[in-house]
Amino acid sequence: MEHQIINKTILSILVILSFTLSSCFKDNEEDLYPDGGTCNTENVSFSQTIWPVINNNCVSCHSGAGANAGIRLGSYSEFVEAIDGGRLLGAIKHESGFSAMPQGGAQLNNCSISQIEAWIAQGKLNN
């Protein structure tokens, strides 16, 4: 009898522990290392790396005639124009004095922001 109670207690502690631990590990992995522990900022490709992020997070509000704040991000040249306009990096980095983007959504992950900065430093190539 006593053994059973102790066993059940140990079991429930283990179950709770494993849930807590696994959720912690998941949080860390996804937030800090969205692509499995590395963030490749070498020779960043616009079409492979930058465009999917912008298309998924920004274009719905920033394309066509009704684009918010008059900022269009619907193509390579519009995206470059927005960067050259000087408001884009501050907005995605949530710097003070800028409207935080994507509006109403989670901030882009650190890796995506680093890759955008690296791509700019590498010459904003349409690659």
Contact residues for ligand HEC, defined by CB under 6 A: 57-58, 60-62, 68-69, 71, 73, 82, 87-88, 91-92, 98-99, 101-105, 108
Closest CA to 82 of 97, 110, 106, 101: 101
As measured in angstroms, the least distance from the Cβ of 119 to ligand HEC is: 13
Supply the minimum distance, in Å, between the C-beta of residue 87 and ligand HEC: 4
Q: Which residues of 112-126 are buried (b: 16+ CB within 10 A; e: fewer)?
A: bbebbebbbeeeeee
How far apart are CB 117 and ligand HEC at their closest, in Å? 13
For ligand HEC, the closer CB: 4 or 48 = 48
Q: Is the dihedral of CA 54, 108, 56, 59 positive or negative?
A: negative
Cα–Cα distance for residue pair 116/39, rounded to 1 Å: 12
Report, in Å, the least distance between residue 37 CB and ligand HEC: 24
Judged by CB, which is closer to ligand HEC: 45, or 63? 63
The candidate with the shortest Cα–Cα distance to 50, out of 123, 1, 105, is 123
Nearer CB in complex with ligand HEC: 7/103:
103
